[in-house]
């Protein structure tokens, strides 16, 4: 979501006449887009800001001014505190206010405002109504269809930083998707904090579900691959499962976070699913498309998690055999109910459990990658590799694959036979 937001911000600024530079010393404006999901992500901002400040001071000695801005969820959570901690920050905008950045910059440059600006409202109007048209960033593009969350899992900041769930109208999504395809996108990833909780209005004002949206997007001429992320297990409907059977361009890969295999912990997390209902969804998905590969997020060391609870998580992993996964130590987030639960798990235990879980997950990931050896896969080539004549692309299962091929094949889908596999990537040879 942050990558998508950043590209929308940069699209808006380019339209205003700004140019992108990746060298901070050349930048008249430095903008950080931030994540607040875990403590580590949030802390990183302040060390990055410190470095940007040093460059700001160096440039000042050369007579150049630098505007420093911060966007995203850290702003929403910290609000004015950001300016207190880093007074050299010129402006800070929350994730629902980033459409204001162009205006704020103009005002700062025209010296209409001299004090630091902080914008953290949850506006009634959608920011998407105020952003310029979005163009393809390459062969793969993201498209946000839903934002915010009403689930209030007890560990999570998203409902507080991104606000209440909002679904963009169907027509608006289709228009953006068509424009992306026209400007070079062949793989589209529909985004939302809980993308499958989508309930946007169609052209006649009728509320539609996510399966309907997928069907509409899949019909766009020229679109070759479709994905969506992230899904909430309790909102996977039978209609959505049927999409995995019927829609050929829907990739056979699904990120469906369970967080924990223990029903006691899932309850304490305020998730609306238990491990049995989660496994049932996967069973149905596999019936609809036997080739589907599963991925998940896991949190270890949630307050009250015992060895037995942790074992239940390992049991789910052994049952599902994920082809990829993300796992994290529980991070205490200020303002969330779990942060003040009195049965916090020791850091040492969290660390041990994470290592055990990751070993197991990597094992399954490696096994899956190795099972691909000999197979012919369609690979969307996205960028140049480290070696001359080598391109890197993505398989339907999101695996990175290296292949020696003509540079002209960049942004195209080519057939590749897999010859080698490690935990993190595949290599193969092009089938001519
Ligand atoms: N809406 C999605 C997840 C969005 S947040 C869902 O419910 O599945 C992305 C991931 O960050 C979560 O799946 C969770 O695994 C992790 N996460 C969120 N808050 C966390 C916390 N306080 N500590 C550790 N991991 C966390
Ligand atoms: Fe956070 Fe996802 Fe739970 Fe919403 S459903 S509160 S985004 S973990």
Q: How remote is the CA of residue 255 from the centroid of ligand 2, in Å?
A: 14
For position 123, what pLDDT does the model report? 86
pLDDT in tens, 48-77: 999 999 999 999 999 999 999 999 999 999
Among 156, 234, 271, 333, residue to substitute to test ligand 2 (most atoms within 8 Å of Cβ): 156
For position 135, what pLDDT does the model report? 86
Residues with CB under 6 A from ligand 2: 149, 151-153, 156, 158-159, 193-194, 232
Nearest of 274, 280, 282, 278 to residue 254 by alpha carbon: 282
- Of 26-30, 109-113, 166-170, 392-396, the one with minimum mean pLDDT is 109-113
CB-based burial label for 18 (10 Å; 0-12, 13-18, 19+):
middle
| Residue 112 in this model has a pLDDT that exceeds 90 | no
Nearest of 349, 345, 361 to residue 296 by alpha carbon: 361
Give the pLDDT mean for 126-148: 90
For position 337, what pLDDT does the model report? 98
| Residue 22 in this model has a pLDDT that exceeds 90 | no
For position 127, what pLDDT does the model report? 87
- Of 118-122, 207-211, 311-315, 353-357, the one with minimum mean pLDDT is 118-122
pTM: 0.95
For position 42, what pLDDT does the model report? 78
For position 118, what pLDDT does the model report? 93
Q: How remote is the CA of residue 158 from the centroid of ligand 2, in Å?
A: 6
Give the pLDDT mean for 185-205: 97
pLDDT in tens, 172-184: 999 999 999 999 9
CB-based burial label for 48 (10 Å; 0-12, 13-18, 19+):
middle
The ligand with the least distance to the CA atom of 300 is 1
CA atoms of 280 and 258, how far apart (whole Å): 12
Per the prediction, the chain carries an average pLDDT of 95
| Residue 126 in this model has a pLDDT that exceeds 90 | no
% of the chain surpassing 70 pLDDT: 100
pLDDT in tens, 319-373: 999 999 999 999 999 999 999 999 999 999 999 999 999 999 999 999 999 999 9
Among 153, 192, 232, residue to substitute to test ligand 2 (most atoms within 8 Å of Cβ): 153
| Residue 137 in this model has a pLDDT that exceeds 90 | no
| Residue 111 in this model has a pLDDT that exceeds 90 | no
pLDDT category at 228 given cuts 50, 70, 90 is very high
Give the pLDDT mean for 154-169: 96
Atom of ligand 1 nearest to the CA of 333: 22
Q: How remote is the CA of residue 76 from the centroid of ligand 2, in Å?
A: 16
Please say whether the dihedral angle defined by the alpha carbons of residues 36, 41, 43 and 46, taken in this order, is positive or negative: negative
For position 41, what pLDDT does the model report? 81
pLDDT category at 133 given cuts 50, 70, 90 is confident
Among 257, 303, 333, 339, residue to substitute to test ligand 1 (most atoms within 8 Å of Cβ): 257
Residues with CB under 6 A from ligand 1: 37-38, 155-156, 158, 193-194, 230, 232, 257, 259, 297, 299, 328, 330-331, 333
């Amino acid at each position: 979501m942050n990558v998508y937001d950043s590209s929308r911000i940069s699209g808006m600024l380019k339209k205003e006449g700004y140019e992108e530079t990746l060298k901070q010393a050349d930048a008249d404006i430095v903008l950080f887009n931030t994540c607040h999901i875990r403590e580590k992500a949030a802390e990183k901002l302040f060390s990055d800001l410190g470095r940007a400040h040093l460059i700001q001071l160096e440039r000042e000695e050369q007579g150049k001014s630098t505007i420093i801005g911060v966007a995203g969820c850290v702003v929403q959570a910290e609000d004015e505190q950001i300016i207190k901690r880093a007074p050299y920050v010129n402006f800070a905008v929350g994730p629902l206010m980033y459409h204001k950045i162009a205006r704020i910059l103009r005002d700062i440059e025209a010296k209409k405002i001299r004090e630091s600006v902080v914008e953290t409202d949850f506006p009634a109007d959608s920011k998407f109504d105020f952003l310029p048209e979005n163009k393809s960033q390459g062969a793969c593009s993201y498209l946000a269809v839903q934002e915010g969350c009403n689930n209030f899992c007890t560990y999570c900041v998203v409902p507080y930083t991104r606000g209440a769930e909002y679904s963009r109208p169907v027509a608006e999504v289709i228009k953006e998707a068509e424009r992306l395809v026209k400007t070079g996108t062949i793989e589209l990833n529909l985004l939302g904090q809980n993308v499958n909780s989508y309930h946007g209005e169609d052209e006649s004002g009728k509320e539609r579900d996510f399966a309907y949206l997928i069907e509409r997007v899949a019909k766009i001429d020229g679109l070759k691959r479709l994905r969506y992320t992230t899904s909430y297990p309790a909102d996977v409907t039978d209609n959505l499962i049927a999409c995995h059977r019927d829609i050929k361009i829907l990739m056979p890969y699904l990120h469906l976070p369970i967080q924990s295999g223990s029903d006691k912990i899932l309850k304490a997390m305020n998730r609306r699913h238990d491990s049995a209902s989660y496994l049932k969804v996967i069973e149905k998905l596999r019936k609809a498309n036997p080739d589907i590969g599963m991925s998940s997020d896991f949190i270890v060391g949630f307050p009250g998690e015992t060895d037995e609870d942790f074992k239940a998580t390992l049991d789910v992993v052994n049952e599902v055999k994920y082809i990829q996964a993300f796992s994290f130590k529980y991070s205490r987030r200020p303002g969330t109910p779990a942060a003040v639960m009195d049965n916090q798990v020791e850091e040492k235990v969290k660390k041990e459990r994470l290592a055990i879980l990751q070993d197991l997950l990597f094992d399954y990931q490696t096994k899956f990658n190795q099972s691909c050896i000999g197979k012919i896969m369609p690979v969307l080539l996205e960028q140049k590799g480290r070696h001359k004549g080598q391109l890197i692309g993505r398989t339907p299962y999101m695996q990175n694959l290296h292949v020696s091929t003509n540079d002209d094949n960049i942004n195209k889908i080519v057939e590749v036979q897999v010859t080698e596999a490690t935990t993190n990537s595949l290599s193969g040879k092009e089938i001519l």
